[in-house]
């Protein structure tokens, strides 16, 4: 298998595992609150990331974290926690495929923040793609029912939190690191959601075995396998190519939701979601000459 073909494979697997992760999260949320779900999600995430410390290089990276890096990771943990909180809260409300469509709006917010904070110029094709995507958001926000409209508002907030975190990471990638960030982020997130549970006056209870399994499976699929497969794709193919392949995620999510949950988006949700995906694809197509990420 060529390096390019294996890169396509990893990007496709990323879309698949994240789609399945959306479904397991949706089912797991049936019996518990979003706050409790995420408390356990990051608890399992911490256990899984701690197991990785068996590798000497990973231990060295984690335990040599200085105060500046730790402070930055804490700020990023807050942003990621609020981003995930609004994402999961939206998933609790509506069909998984529609949430997956809405999550693509993050690309537009990243472009906006890159323009504001990194002084990157916006090209005409990016503005066209942005307008198409905003049209899709408008359809889902104002042309659907109140529940979907509320979920769309949560996903817009989620996009802002994730995009801002992405910009900060881009400017401080060497300081933050990969294993270092994942390990400390999981620890901080457990305490952040513990504080949210206290604020929401929700007791920390032992969830049933089914919800426990689904939460652990979601922790494995989304933050671990999803991250790993996407990074492996970037080592082999262009960023634009990997991004275009992973735009298939909402379609996989819709297929899995239909097979497992028996649910699917309405025609108006397909219209709004299709416009969002089209806008993102238009933006990504401009990166035809982006070099593959180095090993």
Residue 1 in this model has a pLDDT that exceeds 70: no
- For the segment 156-170, the average pLDDT, to the nearest whole number, is 86
First to last CA, the chain: 18
Residue 286 in this model has a pLDDT that exceeds 80: no
Residue 287 in this model has a pLDDT that exceeds 70: no
32: left (phi over 0), alpha (psi -120 to 50) or beta: beta
pLDDT digits (tens, 9 = 90+) for 87-103: 999 999 999 999 999 99
pLDDT digits (tens, 9 = 90+) for 246-281: 888 999 999 999 999 998 899 999 999 999 999 988
pTM of the model: 0.86
Domain boundaries, the chain: 3-284
Token output for 185: 């982020």
pLDDT band at 293 (very low <50, low <70, confident <90, very high): very low
pLDDT band at 233 (very low <50, low <70, confident <90, very high): confident
Residue 290: what pLDDT?
A: 42
Q: Dihedrals φ, ψ of 69, to 5°?
A: -65, -40
- For the segment 187-204, the average pLDDT, to the nearest whole number, is 95
- pLDDT above 90 as % of the chain: 57
Dihedral sign (CA 54, 60, 66, 71)? negative
- For the segment 71-81, the average pLDDT, to the nearest whole number, is 94
pLDDT digits (tens, 9 = 90+) for 122-142: 788 888 988 999 999 999 999
Alpha-carbon span 158 to 162, nearest angstrom: 6
What residues contact residue 163 under an 8 Å CB cut-off, 6+ apart? Answer: 106, 109, 110, 112, 113
Mapped onto helix, strand or coil, the DSSP state of residue 208 is coil
Residue 127: what pLDDT?
A: 87
């Amino acid at each position: 298998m060529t390096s390019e073909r294996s890169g396509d494979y990893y990007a496709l697997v990323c879309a698949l595992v994240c789609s399945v992760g959306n479904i397991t999260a949706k089912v797991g949320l049936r019996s518990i609150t979003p706050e409790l779900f995420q408390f356990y999600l990051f608890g399992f995430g911490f256990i899984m990331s701690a197991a990785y410390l068996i590798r000497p290089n990973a231990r060295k990276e984690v335990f040599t974290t200085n105060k500046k890096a730790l402070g930055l990771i804490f700020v990023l943990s807050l942003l990621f926690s609020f981003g995930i909180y609004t994402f999961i809260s939206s998933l609790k409300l509506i069909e998984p495929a529609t949430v997956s469509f809405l999550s693509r709006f993050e690309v537009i917010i990243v472009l906006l923040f890159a323009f504001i904070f990194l002084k990157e110029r916006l090209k005409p094709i990016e503005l066209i793609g942005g307008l198409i995507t905003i049209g899709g958001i408008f359809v889902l926000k104002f042309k659907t029912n109140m529940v979907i409209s509320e979920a769309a508002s949560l996903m817009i907030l989620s996009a802002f939190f994730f995009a801002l975190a992405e910009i900060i990471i881009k400017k401080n990638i060497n300081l933050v690191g990969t294993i270092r960030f994942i390990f400390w982020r999981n620890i901080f997130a457990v305490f952040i959601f513990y504080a949210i549970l206290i604020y929401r006056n929700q007791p920390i209870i032992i969830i049933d075995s089914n919800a426990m399994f689904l939460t652990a499976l979601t922790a494995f699929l989304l933050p671990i396998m999803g991250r790993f497969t996407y990074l492996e794709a970037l080592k082999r193919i262009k960023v634009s190519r990997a991004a275009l392949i992973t735009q298939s995620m909402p379609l996989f999510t819709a297929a899995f939701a239909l097979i497992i949950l028996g649910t699917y988006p309405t025609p108006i949700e397909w219209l709004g979601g299709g416009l969002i995906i089209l806008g993102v694809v238009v933006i990504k197509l401009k990166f035809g000459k982006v070099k593959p990420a180095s090993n």
